[in-house]
Amino acid sequence: MKKIVIFASGSGTNAQNIVRHFNNSSKSHQFHIFSNNTNAKVLEKAQKLSVPTKIISKDDLYSDILLNYLNEIQPDLIVLAGFLLKFPTNCIEAFPNKIINIHPALLPKYGGKGMYGMHVHRAVVENKDSETGITIHYVNENYDEGNIIFQESIFLTGTESPEDVADKIHELEQTYFPMIIEKILNQKS
């Protein structure tokens, strides 16, 4: 049984999609969802999917408390799916090449501190980019600088609003994120 810990700060649509993808698999998976936001919709979605959750305060995140939780679970993979805080170095060191993130742009473009969600999509539109996409990458100690695992791009017409770009990126995330997670887990078998 593969153990997957998902970190999310917001609506949880990617987390929900990942859990549903694996629930439809013939293999057994165990999920845990962690959030730093007590009001995050991901917590409601997790409850409906019968996935255990844990709220992690910023203090817990940057102390040994989170590391202790993860050591108890011993996850095969840690997935950041809309997690807005920098992941702690002690956890990155304890789980090398076991922490991945999805970014709503083609890194290295539009990466770094503060570049998430609509901030990225507005930048893409303001810069009149002809393409954008998603990047799935390993997490290291710097925002959005870990080794790239997968990228998928879409072309833009130049007439899209940031909201239109967000919708297109969301479709890519929903399609590819679970598949790439499954591929990584199969390589670790």
Spatial neighbors of 46 by CB under 8 A, at least 6 apart, are 12, 15, 16, 19, 33, 52, 53
* Residue for token pair 């909201």: 163
Residues with a known catalytic role: 103
Contact call for residues 170 and 102 (beta carbons, < 8 A): no
Distance separating alpha carbons of residues 104 and 132, to the nearest angstrom:
8
From the list 132, 143, 83, 82, the residue with the least C-alpha distance to 109 is: 132
